[in-house]
Structure 1
């Protein structure tokens, strides 16, 4: 039987590219999202053979539904990818609690809820890996995006602890710490064009992930990541 990957938040641009790449590698894909019609349209547009893919409804912020969702899976996953995302501009988020709360729930609370359920299933002996899609915005707090960044930072720290928790079971945990991605979530934002990465490039880092915990796709972003980590606070404060 083919290995199974469960992609949560499968309507993101990166996740949709990951679907295609996982299928090319022979996986059975369970694509889960609130936007099932959009995923089905994407698969139709790319003439995908539907024999090895299921499209399921999943709402990251409907916590009460998560156990039922997992129990109802036709196959328990070997690989889990959490790619759900939501973005509200920082100035708006400062005044709009609902937008802030949604980011907290999508990026952190929803991830913790469903991943806790998945790893608590001791009967699934085939679980091999969990991959989370995070962001460089969560590396250091910056005045332009600290609310969004804080939710991604929390997610990254959760996965770091989960990696240790699952080590004895041989389950790998990875986090993709991505920079700017050309996607519907960043459409319309004033971002440096030379730093933009394509969703298919990020998806390749997800699908072909190795053993390192933190993976930063793209040479320029690797450099930025390492600089951000060691930059003195007074210099971080000068960043946008």
Structure 2
């Protein structure tokens, strides 16, 4: 990237549908983008198909589950970011996760452990005076434990709790930390699942909320999902136990 005067955003897990829309919208706002993912070919194709300005986007290899590589990945960033988004995610259906720990462990590594590994490295870099904001993408599945998705939900709940503490840790440096608690999105991760169509959000809509996030810690896009969020938060356990 040649323009070092504009602000930069580092998107970790940049191959998701929401992350790709974030790339487009951050570029439109004048940011430089570091798009990091294991699937470099997909990002390169996306960049070419959308005729993105190559001086404003850098595509880098990042594996959320390869914890030992995270420090080197961060050290090699020529420009330390103003904004960091953790968008990496992995989902295994609950019954499959119960029967095979491999799927459970992959969700843990991608959704939580990998996030903590890289975000800790970024957070403790007191020499990065650019850092203004860290954003994590979590899920309504992590609000309360429910029998249909509690394995996946537990990884998202842990991530949300981590971000809450990180917000407190970074407050003295005036670095904002935000968690997006997301419902159903029309995206690759949800392909093949039987989901309520009326509750589906489009990736570009979610990306717009992320790129224009305010100062709140918890943001739940879409008024329907806000209602569901508060119902889950406030319902007594005996009612939550009756949910799917």
Identify the TM-score tier after normalising by the shorter chain. over 0.9
Q: Does 1:178 align with 2:182?
A: yes
Paired with 2:206 and 2:142, the residues of 1 have a C-alpha distance of 17
Alignment partner, residue 47 of structure 2: 43
Alignment partner, residue 160 of structure 2: 156
The counterpart of 2:149, out of the listed 145, 165, 170, is 145
Alignment partner, residue 119 of structure 1: 123
Paired with 2:119 and 2:177, the residues of 1 have a C-alpha distance of 11
Which string of whole-angstrom CA distances, capped at 9 and with x for unpartnered residues, describes residues 80-131 of structure 1?
Answer: 0000000000000001111000000101100000000001111101100000
Cα distance, 1:49 vs. partner? Answer: 1.6
TM-score (norm 1): 0.99
SS of the residue aligned with 2:55? helix
Paired with 2:235 and 2:100, the residues of 1 have a C-alpha distance of 31
Q: Does 1:167 align with 2:164?
A: no
Q: Does 1:189 align with 2:186?
A: no
Paired with 2:96 and 2:36, the residues of 1 have a C-alpha distance of 29
Which string of whole-angstrom CA distances, capped at 9 and with x for unpartnered residues, describes residues 46-92 of structure 1?
Answer: 12121100000000000000000000001001100000000000000
Aligned-residue CA RMSD in angstroms? 0.5
SS of the residue aligned with 1:116? helix
Greater shift after overlay, 75-84 or 201-210? 201-210
TM-score (norm 2): 0.98
Alignment partner, residue 17 of structure 2: 13
Alignment partner, residue 202 of structure 1: 206
Q: How does 1:203-218 map to 2 (within 5 A)?
A: 203-218=207-222
Alignment length, in residue pairs? 240
The counterpart of 1:22, out of the listed 26, 30, 34, is 26
Structure 2 unaligned blocks of 5 or more: none
SS of the residue aligned with 2:228? helix
SS of the residue aligned with 1:238? coil
SS of the residue aligned with 1:30? strand
Cα distance, 1:236 vs. partner? Answer: 0.6
SS of the residue aligned with 2:138? strand
Structure 1 unaligned blocks of 5 or more: none
SS of the residue aligned with 1:26? coil
* CA contact 1:176–1:205 (8 Å) conserved in 2: no
Alignment partner, residue 134 of structure 2: 130
Structure 1 stretches of 4+ with a deviation exceeding 3 A read: none
